[in-house]
């Protein structure tokens, strides 16, 4: 019994360590299937997690695209947390964070850092296309994508860009990045109301209720 409890505790510690290393934006830890509405997108995300062994073996990547606020990052984080619960190594990050880190490293250290993106079971890159477009930045973005390509492991990307926009770019630097992404990831359009506006409207109503409550009507008809 003690041995079983020890193994369970050890596994929980391993998962906690994977979660700490894999999800660096702490607010993403609260985005999981337990708090998600049961939409077709969420059902698809659950199937991705439940069939992970086949997904990994077949190297099935996904490209979540659509308008702002349709839940692309939320769905990606749900998948990340669902797999982390199983002890699968996941890294969810974005190129702004990656580029900031790379700019502080020496050339040899950069190569070592980029190599880490080919070692986790699932890599999730959030918000592709908002990073700066300098020559250095685009070279590093391609290096990370290419590292994942060579590792032959799944990649999930979220973006506001459409596949048509990605296919029609004219410059070589962007074209080779997007071409590789579309080769690795199946595009999935997420549609629906802007969740951010809905949350904002809900907060606005709540703020009015708390800060500007309706005046109470007294028996004499007067208000106070």
Rounded Cα distance between 115 and 91, Å, is 13
Within-domain flag for 138: yes
Within-domain flag for 211: no
Within-domain flag for 13: yes
Within-domain flag for 28: yes
Higher pLDDT, 224 or 178: 178
**CB atoms inside a 10 Å sphere around CB 157:** 26
Within-domain flag for 202: no
| Percent above pLDDT 90 for the chain | 66
Rounded Cα distance between 217 and 224, Å, is 7
**Mean pLDDT value across the chain:** 86
* Domain that includes residue 134, residue range: 2-195
pLDDT digits 0-9 by tens, 91-125: 999 999 999 999 889 888 999 999 999 999 999 99
Cα angle 109, 113, 118 (rounded to 5 degrees) comes to: 145
Within-domain flag for 215: no
pLDDT digits 0-9 by tens, 52-100: 999 999 999 999 999 988 999 999 999 999 999 999 999 999 999 999 9
Higher pLDDT, 161 or 193: 161
Please count the structural domains in the chain: 1
Within-domain flag for 137: yes
Within-domain flag for 154: yes
């Amino acid at each position: 019994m003690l041995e079983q409890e020890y193994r369970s505790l050890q596994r929980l510690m391993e998962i906690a360590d994977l979660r700490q290393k894999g999800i660096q934006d702490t607010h993403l830890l609260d985005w999981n299937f337990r708090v998600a509405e049961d939409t077709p997108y969420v059902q698809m995300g659950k199937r991705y997690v439940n069939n992970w062994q086949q997904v990994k073996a077949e190297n099935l990547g996904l490209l979540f695209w659509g308008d702002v606020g349709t839940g692309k990052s939320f769905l990606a984080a749900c998948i990340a947390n669902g797999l982390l619960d199983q002890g699968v190594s996941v890294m969810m990050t974005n190129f702004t964070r990656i580029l900031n880190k790379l700019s502080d490293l020496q050339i040899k250290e950069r190569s070592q850092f980029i190599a880490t993106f080919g070692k986790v079971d699932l890599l999730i890159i959030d918000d592709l296309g908002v990073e700066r477009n300098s020559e250095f930045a685009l070279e590093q973005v391609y290096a990370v994508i290419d590292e994942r390509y060579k590792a032959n492991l799944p990649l999930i990307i979220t973006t506001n860009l459409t596949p048509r926009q990605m296919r029609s770019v004219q410059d070589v630097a962007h074209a080779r990045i997007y071409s590789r992404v579309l080769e690795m990831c199946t595009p999935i359009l997420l549609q629906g109301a802007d969740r951010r506006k809905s949350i904002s409207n809900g907060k606005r109503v709540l703020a009015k209720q708390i800060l500007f409550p309706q005046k109470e009507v007294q028996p004499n008809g007067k208000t106070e």
